[in-house]
Structure 1
Amino acid sequence: MVESPVVELVEAEHRRVWDRFYDVFMFQPSTSSLKWPAIKEPAASVAWSLAALDDDPEYERLDRLVEAVEQGLISCLGPKATMLALDWQHTSYRFAPRSVGGPGQPAWPLSPYPDGDYYIYLSEDFRTGSFGHPWEGSLCLFGAELLDAASKEVEKLLGRPIRRSGRAVGTV
């Protein structure tokens, strides 16, 4: 029997993964802008506002953003690597990114775009991934390899970053 490329995390593992995420990223979920960005963004990270997608009625830029992040994540991982897809307060998953999203394959679980809740993609070692913040309306990519692979395309789609390495980017 072939194992599915997308597996729901069982309760004990779900708790363990989320506990580790809270610890590693000092996660403080909140709808209050006083507590944003909600995580301690790693040194190798860039965050963008998602406001540029507000005038994208056909979802063309959103689709390109999702593709850029997914392809960037795939390029950072080995051929048999798995990742975590975390949805705060909901079902979370472990999945094989090279075995989803193609013809005849299951879809990627979740999305880098935070559709009403925190959506997080994480490598198993927690060093690479994305953090979508629904209330700030932001997307943070972290990990040097992912930034090398995806940040140029993401910047084309979303504009200048709002933060680098967790620090606000000033306007010129």
Structure 2
Amino acid sequence: MFDQAEYDEVWRRVYRRLDFRPSTSAFPGIAEPPGSVTWHLNVGEDGVDGLQSVIIAGLREGVGEELYWLDWQHVGYRFDPDRVGRPGQPRWPGHVYPDGDYFLYVTRDLRLGTFGHPWEHTLCVFGESLVAQVEQPLIALLGRPVRRS
């Protein structure tokens, strides 16, 4: 977790830089960054773990810095992906699959990350290095993307 001032600042950046527009009917919920790829989340309950594994692997390989996990209007986390989720470490914070709220994994500068939209049932992946890490495994899991920016 992180303090309220940092939480507010991160969300301000999300609203400004990604043009975040929460809505249950207007899609997409962000201005998807150039180079982003968006998939429909047509995975059953069994596929959610596979989705999480693909994104965790991509974030570990493609980032090299602390990340934020954001759950709209709830507590968020700042964490080092190399120090969580393995035996003897704290568990990996959050989930990628948006189960009723917007979930994001992002770098501090928002140059890469994921944006899960709970009502459009989509996952947008952005940032060249992250897209390169996860695109093929996500195509295998989710099928062809619904959008590319």
Cα distance in 2, alignment partners of residues 145 and 27 from structure 1: 22
TM-score, normalised relative to structure 1:
0.84
Q: Secondary structure at the match of 2:129?
A: helix
Equivalence for 2:131: 147
1:18 offset after TM fit, Å? 0.4
- In the TM superposition, 1:13-32 aligns within 5 A as 13-32=6-25
1:73 offset after TM fit, Å? 1.0
TM-score, normalised relative to structure 2:
0.96
Structure 1: which 4+ aligned runs deviate by more than 3 Å?
none
Aligned residue pair count: 149
Alignment pair present for 1:37 and 2:37: no
Cα distance in 1, alignment partners of residues 48 and 55 from structure 2: 11
Alignment pair present for 1:161 and 2:119: no
Cα distance in 2, alignment partners of residues 118 and 73 from structure 1: 18
1:120 offset after TM fit, Å? 0.1
Identity %: 47
Cα distance in 2, alignment partners of residues 22 and 73 from structure 1: 22
1:99 offset after TM fit, Å? 0.7
| Letter in structure 1 aligned against 2:60 | I
Equivalence for 2:95: 111
User: Over aligned residues, Cα RMSD in angstroms?
Assistant: 1.0
1:66 offset after TM fit, Å? 0.7
| Letter in structure 1 aligned against 2:6 | E
Cα distance in 1, alignment partners of residues 121 and 36 from structure 2: 16
Task: Point out where structure 2 has 5 or more consecutive residues left out of the alignment.
Answer: none
Task: Point out where structure 1 has 5 or more consecutive residues left out of the alignment.
Answer: 1-7, 166-172
Cα distance in 2, alignment partners of residues 133 and 107 from structure 1: 23
Alignment pair present for 1:66 and 2:52: yes
Alignment pair present for 1:12 and 2:5: yes
Per-residue deviation, residues 36-73 of structure 1 (Å, max 9, x unmatched) = 1110000110000012x1xx34x2x2211111111111
Equivalence for 2:73: 89
Is residue 28–residue 120 contact of structure 2 (8 Å, CA) maintained in 1? yes
Cα distance in 2, alignment partners of residues 46 and 87 from structure 1: 21
Q: Which of 40, 44, 51 lines up with 1:49 in the alignment? A: 40
State which structure, 1 or 2, has the greater radius of gyration over its C-alpha atoms. 1
